[in-house]
Amino acid sequence: MKKSHVFDPRHIEALESKERTAWQNPEEIIPILNLKPSYIAADLGCGTGYFTIPLSRKVKKVYGIDVQNEMLAFLDQKIQKQKIRNIETILAKENKIPLPDESINFLLTVNTLHEFHDRDAILKEIIRVITTQGQVAVIDFKKENMSFGPPNSIRVSKEKSIRLFEKQGLTVLDSHTLRYHYLIVFGKK
């Protein structure tokens, strides 16, 4: 059984720090995703909404999904303060995405692969909620030693990510190498 490595909400400030922009800037990454204004999107493992809020500016609606109430409460405060009307936060249970079948055009998950306890189960859920033409974008840390991010020992390499998603019937549509991360866009075959 795999050990869960869910981010500790006591360190929430690390997710919101200005330093994070230097190594992971949503304003540089989101334009790469080829989003459409009509999309219904989900940010799985949204945390504090670091990507959810910029994503909401590009699509019709975003579901910010997380397994931790503390993260969603923080995001809800940001949504209220910024008067954002197209984000809905949803508390999920591990390996369950509380959305209807084929209800999402685009699902984003950032820095989360090492946190998923049962990757096959969550990938089946991802496939269930995306439409036939839906896309899944995975942004995660390269499997390299760095002075920030999760320990290298629990990171999921780009190659392993591709194998995990292909095993579940998805195919690579696009791929980018970022400074400290990889970005892979998958679609249904």
- Domain-wise residue ranges, the chain: 12-188
pLDDT at 126: 97
In this prediction, residue 160 has a pLDDT band, given cuts at 50, 70 and 90, of very high
pLDDT at 149: 86
CATH 3.40.50.150 fits 12-188, yes or no: yes
Average per-residue pLDDT in the chain? 91
Burial of residue 143 (number of CB atoms within 10 Å: 0-12, 13-18, 19+):
middle
Mean pLDDT of 176-188: 96
Long-range CB pairs of 149-152, under 8 A, 24+ apart, other chains included: 149/111, 149/180, 150/5, 150/111, 150/114
Question: Does 20 or 69 have the greater pLDDT score?
Answer: 69
Best CA proximity match to 43, nearest among 23, 26, 19: 26
In this prediction, residue 4 has a pLDDT band, given cuts at 50, 70 and 90, of very low
Question: Does 160 or 148 have the greater pLDDT score?
Answer: 160
Distance, C-alpha 162 to centroid of its chain: 15
In this prediction, residue 1 has a pLDDT band, given cuts at 50, 70 and 90, of very low
pTM, 2 dp: 0.90
What is the Cα–Cα distance from 84 to 91, expressed in whole angstroms? 19
Q: Is the pLDDT of residue 2 over 50?
A: no
